[in-house]
Amino acid sequence: MLTAAMQDETKLRRRLRAWTLVFIVGLVASGATAMPIQSQFEMAQRWLGADFRGGGWVPEFVASWLVRVHEGVELVTRDAPFVWYGTDWLAFGHFAIALAFIGALRDPVRNRWLYDFGLLACAAVIPFALACGAVREIPFWWRLIDSSFGVIGALPLLACRKWARELDPTAR
């Protein structure tokens, strides 16, 4: 017969593992989208039209940016497809980090340092996106979208970090 404390711990471990899995799936999905950039633009054109305006649904400044980026994607694909190797490595980085979090999935208390690592990486996304985006002439509003990945990624990690500490008798 399980005591109330044991039941609470079991529920907390399930919640912790579920949110760790959400983070892992998010990393894998984010990495997977880094590779088929040309295909994604082709799909967007089918949905929104060649001008990316979506019949007026997409704001002009967004559509103009998408047209400019699409032109660059076509140029790189035609003249320098080897550049896409960089996005392959970007995807690999996401996959490798996701693999590391399997340790937290298996034993979230012993491997709770991974939540700190993930939070530091999420925090680093923001200045990295803002600074590198400025150098690459990425519009500020797009850099904010990129920065939001750090904020969104931090949410499950903050909860997991808290729960892992609650489960660790040495952290109290």
| Residue 8 falls inside a structural domain | no
5 contact partners, CB below 8 Å, separation of at least 6:
none
> What per-residue confidence (pLDDT) applies to 114?
98
Q: How far apart are CA 110 and CA 168, in angstroms?
A: 8
| Residue 1 falls inside a structural domain | no
| Residue 161 falls inside a structural domain | yes
> What per-residue confidence (pLDDT) applies to 4?
83
Residue 66 is part of which domain span?
14-171
| Residue 111 falls inside a structural domain | yes
| Residue 167 falls inside a structural domain | yes
pLDDT along the chain (172 residues), means of 10: 82 96 97 94 94 94 97 97 96 97 96 97 97 97 96 97 92 66
Q: How far apart are CA 164 and CA 110, in angstroms?
A: 9
Amino acid, res. 167: L
| Residue 6 falls inside a structural domain | no
> What per-residue confidence (pLDDT) applies to 3?
86
| Residue 26 falls inside a structural domain | yes
| Residue 58 falls inside a structural domain | yes
Number of domains forming the structure of the chain: 1
> What per-residue confidence (pLDDT) applies to 6?
82
What is the Cβ-side half-sphere exposure of residue 73, based on CA atoms within 13 angstroms?
A: 16
H/E stretch holding 150: helix 140-167
Q: Give the tokens for residue 107.
A: 């034993």
